Amino acid sequence: MAFPSSRPRRLRTSAAMRRLVAQTSVSPRQLVLPMFVAEGRSEPVPISSMPGVVQHSRESLRKAATDAVAAGVGGVMLFAVPQHKDAVGSQALDEHGILNQAIADVVAEVGDQTVVMADLCLDEFTDHGHCGVLADDGSVDNDATLARYAAMAVAQAAAGVHVVGPSGMMDGQVGAIRAALDSAGHSDVAILAYTAKYASAFYGPFREAVSSTLQGDRRTYQQDPANGLEALREAALDLAEGADMLLVKPALGYLDVLRAVAEVSDVPVAAYNVSGEYAMLEAAARAGYLEREPAILEVLTSIRRAGADFVLTYWAAEAAGWLRA
């Protein structure tokens, strides 16, 4: 009988050998924790569809950010829920608005040890729940929204944010934000551009997390899940407009898009392991259908392997703790 001429199993024979030849690793610094804060709360409130994730009070946000940094995460991404929403999302631009206050709180607490990022989008702040302002016919007005984003970026920068994350998928948003930041003297504030953000059903639990008021959907601005090519067009535009980092979202159903964007990008690429991906795995683990910790680590490793330099994930602090151990 002929011996197999090649034996790939040799490199799998022991834990030590597998450790030596592992091509992909996940480090705490590559994990960014998205966090929610709600105005007027005195206590954190659990988000039922995302066990383990809460809407923070300002106080509990500071504490949780400190804990996440102690666990070794690379950064935090802040989302906020204001008490008063209106048609143009005024609270997003107000220096006393909850998001800008939360940025200042977290920067004061851990800003010298970690990267503080904030979502730059109007959906949490508008009463209609869209990511931009509306034209008379009810459609989302791209260029009027850019002016709001530009002012929102300057307000976040004034609060001390290190990185803004424009997630609204308006055309020209990166260029508008870059120009506004630079003319206001904030040339050091970086832009993590949501390059390929798909109109996904996997944002479902997030909508509870930010008490979303959205009626309808976001398909006139977020990308069609059927399309890969336009992610490359969006990437080229974001890079030309001055993006410092690119992001693909969601992660798991879009690993091919992540890989394609990583291949053409000359800046770091991130992926957002979204709320529905989190909820799905947590529910399966609770039902006893899969083993939670290895499943989480496999998800994070797969996203890194597909090309993400860092990953936004609700497991960031917990997984960072395991990975440091």
One of 249, 300, 315, 316 is an active-site residue; which one? 249
What's the min distance (Å) between Cβ of 274 and ligand PBG?
Answer: 4
Nearer to ligand PBG, 59 or 253 (CB): 253
Nearer to ligand PBG, 131 or 150 (CB): 131
What's the min distance (Å) between Cβ of 210 and ligand PBG?
Answer: 7
What's the min distance (Å) between Cβ of 192 and ligand PBG?
Answer: 12
If phi > 0 it is left, if psi is from -120 to 50 it is alpha, else beta; for residue 130 that is beta
Nearer to ligand PBG, 200 or 265 (CB): 200
What's the min distance (Å) between Cβ of 13 and ligand PBG?
Answer: 40
* Beta carbons of 56 and 33 less than 8 angstroms apart: no
Which phi and psi (to 5°) does residue 225 adopt?
-55, -20
* Residue 80, strand partner residues: 37
Nearer to ligand PBG, 87 or 240 (CB): 87
197 noted as active-site residue: yes
DSSP string for 108-158: HHHTTTSEEEEEE-STTTBSS--SSPBPTTSSB-HHHHHHHHHHHHHHHHH
The DSSP 8-state label assigned to residue 245 in this structure reads E
63 noted as active-site residue: no
Residue type, 193: A
One of 85, 128, 197, 304 is an active-site residue; which one? 197
Does residue 100 sit in helix, strand or coil?
A: helix
Q: Which residues of this chain interact with ligand PBG, rule CB under 6 A?
A: 119, 121, 123, 131, 167, 203, 206, 218, 274-275
Helical packing angle, 316-324 and 292-305, nearest 10°: 90
| Positions marked catalytic | 197, 249
